[in-house]
Structure 1
Amino acid sequence: MDPTGLTKLLSPQGWALLAQLPPYEEEHALRISTGLRERGVDPDLVAAAMTQSRLRARARGKFGTFADGMIFTAAGLEQATRFVVAAHHARRYAAAGVARVADLGCGIGGDAMALSALGVPVLAVEQDEATAAVATVNLRHFPTATVRHGDALELDLATEGIDGLFADPARRTRRGNRVFDPRAYSPPLERVLALREQVPALGIKVAPGIPHSALPTEARAQWVSVDGDVVEAGLWFGPLAGEGPGRSALVLHGEESDVLDEPMSGADAPVRHAPVRPLAAYLYEPDGAVIRAGLVARLAEDLDAGLVSESIAYLTAPTLRRTPFATPYRVLDSFDFSLKRLRTYLRDRDVGTVTVKKRGTAVEPGQIIRQLALKGAGRATIVLTRLAGQQSVLVVERA
């Protein structure tokens, strides 16, 4: 959002206009925008308000109803922590008894809001002036939160009375491309890690794809999924590390949360591997956070299960056990992969709609669905994977 548009949006006239707009719908946006301009409303203000209305609609997936009272930038919303995840972050600091947290690179203020909601005082620092202004608006209802425009790494932590740190380094280039190398974060991960010498209670939000070799041995590394989607990883140090160094998976479904972890000598400890077993009556698809955390073998032990093939994260077991960390399927049939055989199999059963899941194969689900050209009335779920190294088809149903 350009500074001029933001300034006009934050004026009394801008707030009034934003409050009057109906819920955003793309098909009606042009008509509403044109009507406002014809009424003599400043075109810059109209553009800013319509953009903000669209961002608020997108933000409800991360912030729920809180989004209706917030201001966003497109980049800030993209990187912002989902509020349900930010609440888990905040609980770590509250449980550790931290007196004042510095949110370094606070963005639009989502994590600072969650901390403030638990009564943890926050100093939110943001280098981008417009984004700092947005954070100030979003934190306006929290008297224990302060927003400061400046370089987070130049903050005098001792003078400010900071005993807890949270950092969310930027992981995109100016052009919006994702950054995968922690050394290319802004600021680089090693510079953030160095802050532990001043404040041991440090939490860092990192990309879920961070290589395990880049994880500090002293970290409690936790991967987080929300309704099956892996959204982030976090590194926690000192009193925020809970049980100590290691890896864990936090799985969030609606209002429920579950944690799978394994005590380790360090977050970068070698990943254990589950044994390979013949396909049994049930197939388990581990949650992405479990896979990213390297805890498939840990989950296999809980389920008394084994891998369907080496290095493929599908588990199989003869019995059904409920778990929040994997989706279970009943295996109805299996055979070696052949497009002709699969087409015949599905047509013989009057299948017209097929859901294709895959691991360990280069076949694209969309391409397979087009090639099958099914026209039946039934539905089926198939899994394309390897069994004992052989490309195979599994016909399954949710258990």
Structure 2
Amino acid sequence: MADAEAEVDPASLAAAQRLRRKHSPGVAAAALDQVVLRRRAIAKFGDRAAAMFFTRDGLEQATRPAVAEYHARRLAATGASRVVDLGCGIGTDALAFAAAGLRVVAVEIDEHTAEIARANVAVHDQLRGTVEVLTGDAEQLAPELIKDGDAVFLDPARRTSAGRLWRTEDFRPSWTFVTGLLTSGRPVAVKLGPALPHREIPDAVEAEWLTDHGETVEVCLRSGPGSTPDRRAALIMPDHRMIARPTSTPVRALGQFLYEPDGAVIRAGAVGTLAEELSAWLLDDQIAYLSAEKLIMTPYAGAFEIIEQLPYAEKALRRWVRDHHIGTLEIKKRGIDIDPALLRKRLKPAGPESATLIISRTPRGARVLHARRIAADDHE
């Protein structure tokens, strides 16, 4: 690995040629690939990436460290002493469970990915003997692996060569198997993509959408000890939780301020709950923008001050951009069939100034709002 790590551009042909002079083609390719993946993984794992092993899919699908540690704390709080991790990938969740004091039996169907998981376990001397990684079909092995008192964690496969799968009937292990575990009465946590429709969530199951560093990364379904049946919540990492409540949010005209709720708040159905906390209202009953006359800073939404309203006409917007010397132009939109990147290009921004335009559907038609983003330290 040292020769590969010394390469400035490990993905280059020149790097491959240099390593092949010292190593077999297979070893050279594998080492360079790991260096490429480790450098890419820094964004997700920070300094930990330097001692980890990855596959391309495994890196993309791996749980972020802070989120994995949160899952581990919640499972440890159920009183379980062992977790059966079904679909462990490269082992990031399993390592977090072990670090929280849980014994772990992890299952991965892909042999190469399972070997990567074992390698990641092996570099943690302090966890030696606490994590066992098995290769096999989780659905077939589960009946013999899961014992009384165990907690279960699942991360069903959601990808094929055709791309991301959102149909629950295409999950692996099967959705029938997953829901069976969720209704088993034992502590169960299921990590899924955040776009999971509410209608797919079984009765008496908790669902929590998580945002980490501004990105809504997953929904976790929980049942059994340590869960709150039928609760829908948004968690803005590390510790800002909003529980959705039944509300009736009014629709009104634009106020002085506009709020863009976090993706987890929207997915959890907590926009109305947020509106109550902010004394805000909707601009349209189908659009997740809130407005208010008084500014209240919140971790659950981005805040904007409305400077002016502009006509929803491309020619007029292009003239406005030119007249105001706008070179850096952020365009946000909801409920309008436009591509912000293409519109930005057509508006031909050029100049030293910057601006944010928010384009939204309202009951009175589309509105273009020139807005100023308000940072938390602006309001201290």
TM-score (norm 2): 0.91
Within-5 A mapping of 1:77-96: 77-96=59-78
SS at match of 2:48: helix
Q: Does 1:259 align with 2:241?
A: yes
* 1:225–1:272 Cα change, 3 Å: same
The separation in 1 between residues aligned to 2:183 and 2:313, in whole angstroms, is: 59
- 2:17 — aligned with what? 34
The separation in 1 between residues aligned to 2:11 and 2:217, in whole angstroms, is: 31
**CA shift for structure 1 position 273:** 5.4
- Which of 222, 234, 253 pairs up with 2:220? 234
- 1:215 — aligned with what? 201
8 A contact 2:257–2:306 mirrored in 1: yes
Q: Does 1:224 align with 2:218?
A: no
Within-5 A mapping of 1:1-399: 18-22=1-5, 25-26=8-9, 29-38=12-21, 40-140=22-122, 141=124, 142-143=127-128, 144-153=130-139, 154-157=141-144, 160=147, 163-173=150-160, 175-196=161-182, 200-241=186-227, 243-252=228-237, 256-262=238-244, 272=247, 274-399=249-374
The separation in 2 between residues aligned to 1:41 and 1:24, in whole angstroms, is: 15
Provide Cα deviations, 1:218-246, integer angstroms capped at 9, x if missing partner. 111011112221111110001131x4321
8 A contact 1:282–1:328 mirrored in 2: yes
**CA shift for structure 1 position 21:** 3.2
* 1:135–1:212 Cα change, 3 Å: same
Q: Give structure 1 stretches of 5+ with no counterpart.
A: 1-17, 264-270
* 1:47–1:159 Cα change, 3 Å: closer
Most deviating of 381-390 and 158-167: 158-167
Provide Cα deviations, 1:89-138, integer angstroms capped at 9, x if missing partner. 11101111211100011111010011111111111111222211111111
8 A contact 1:279–1:387 mirrored in 2: no
TM-score (norm 1): 0.87
Provide Cα deviations, 1:67-105, integer angstroms capped at 9, x if missing partner. 211111112222211111111111101111211100011
Q: Give structure 2 stretches of 5+ with no counterpart.
A: 375-380
SS at match of 1:239: coil
8 A contact 2:58–2:90 mirrored in 1: yes
SS at match of 1:259: strand
The separation in 2 between residues aligned to 1:303 and 1:189, in whole angstroms, is: 38
**CA shift for structure 1 position 197:** 5.8
Instruction: Give the RMSD, CA atoms, in angstroms.
Output: 2.0
- 2:378 — aligned with what? none
Task: Report the identity percentage.
Answer: 40
* 1:262–1:73 Cα change, 3 Å: same
Report the count of equivalent residues.
369
8 A contact 2:244–2:269 mirrored in 1: no
SS at match of 2:30: helix
Most deviating of 120-129 and 108-117: 120-129
